[in-house]
Amino acid sequence: MVLSSIIDAAIDGKLEDLASFVKEWRKELRIGVKLLLSLAAEKNAKQVETAVKQSVRAGRAPGAWPSKEWDQAIVRRFAPVWRSHEEARQWSKEVLQDRVTFAADGSQAVIEDLWPCVAFVQVATFENPHRENGGYRKSVVNDLITLFGPDDYDPQAENDVKFRRFQLEVESLARFVEERRGWRERKERMPLGFFDGSLLVSLSPPHTLPQANRWQQRYAEEIQKLVRVSHEAHVPVIGYIDQSLARDVVRLLNTLEGGERFSKLLDVHLFNPEFLKEARVPSEGGRRLSDESVDRLALNGWGDRTIFFYCLREGPDTPRAERRDDWNPPIGFAYIRTNGVGGPARLDIPSWVYEEGLLDEVVDVVRAECVVGNGYPYPIEAADAASVIRSADRHLLAERVLQQAQKRSIPLGLSRKMLSKERRR
């Protein structure tokens, strides 16, 4: 039980720190918005390209590189205007009709009170051909992982569990890609695979333990395989991040400013209308940005998106020995508004999708699935619902493991503490 008076006291002690942080953040936001607007107005792509290449040659990751869509405007407005949700659903039906979409999502459960400790990984997939007669498919893949350690349970072993879940999700998407290979030859509509999360693996700070970088390398290798097979089969996959904390556009602004001027900004702050309201607040000198100028960056309308940016983030897959001007980033991103209340979502998109002219169609499919899912892609929603391991499932899992072990005369034990907790929850 947590007492409200204790919570209030803890909050009150930190409000001054929070106010100080917001003051600095608001200052960064105004400067960042002004810089981005000036770049957009001048459309000085050559200046940006020069700064990005200089940063790459110097061994620094500039964060992002605007695509040729930069020549028009940073924000691409979504044209259709619907008078009712029924009209939106009709539009999404036309986009999705006879088009196969797919998603994979997973969950995990570590049974710490089972001796020896084990973990259960479950990944569910949802495939929808969007035909009149239905025909969608749901499937589940499971794996049991033993977590042996000197103290019966090794917290570091959870890395194995998380990675195995990630690996099964990626493998499921790769299978879907292979199955849809040749869609053009069969005169089918472009399929699309959804990954719930980022397709980018960032590099940890230098002080991070070496094993952390080894794990990152393993994650990066799995993503590289998925992006490669996606390109070879010409079947798009995208990563969908509902609440992104990425700073790739912000890093680009830092690169152009020649330092680390922006330390508190996130990318979404530069495009979210709610945050951009703060950019209109006058500075200490009384100067303020006009509503009209700020609105050029705001993803105000449902379906609005930013241009496609190539991602030049520091990561375990980044070439280090020799940085080259012609280094081709395999993954890019765009921000898009898919609901009426929250901030924009981020789409991680393989660069080949943009370069082969499929970006607009891919984004329309994302929009259509978000109409069906009321602001969130329905395939991911369906896969997530099928993958969840609930509290009762954990108890059943532990009992099944015990039963199977007893049949083979393997001595296992389940603590009374866990049985008590399961009964109380």
pLDDT digits (tens, 9 = 90+) for 11-40: 777 788 888 888 899 889 988 998 888 877
Mean pLDDT over 220-249 rounds to: 95
**Residue 296: predicted pLDDT:** 87
**Residue 210: predicted pLDDT:** 59
Question: Is 416's pLDDT higher than 60?
Answer: no
CB half-sphere exposure, 219, CA atoms < 13 A: 23
Nearest-10 Cα torsion for 228, 137, 103, 80: 110
Cα dist from 188 to 129, 191, 202, 229, whole Å: 11, 8, 36, 19
Question: Is 8's pLDDT higher than 60?
Answer: yes
CB proximity list for 88: less than 8 A, separation 6 or greater: 82, 371
pLDDT over 70 percentage in the chain: 80
* CA–CA dist 412, 148 (Å, integer): 13
**Residue 146: predicted pLDDT:** 76
Could you tell me the end-to-end alpha-carbon distance of the chain, in angstroms, rounded to an integer?
Answer: 15
* CA–CA dist 275, 290 (Å, integer): 15
* CA–CA dist 238, 370 (Å, integer): 14
* CA–CA dist 406, 409 (Å, integer): 5
**Residue 324: predicted pLDDT:** 42
Q: Are 345 and 336 in contact (CB under 8 A)?
A: yes
Q: Indicate the average pLDDT of the chain.
A: 83
What predicted TM-score, i.e. pTM, was given to this entire model? 0.88
**Residue 344: predicted pLDDT:** 95
pLDDT category at 150 given cuts 50, 70, 90 is very low
Among 101-110, 181-190, 280-289, 381-390, the least confident range: 280-289
pLDDT category at 147 given cuts 50, 70, 90 is low
pLDDT category at 321 given cuts 50, 70, 90 is very low
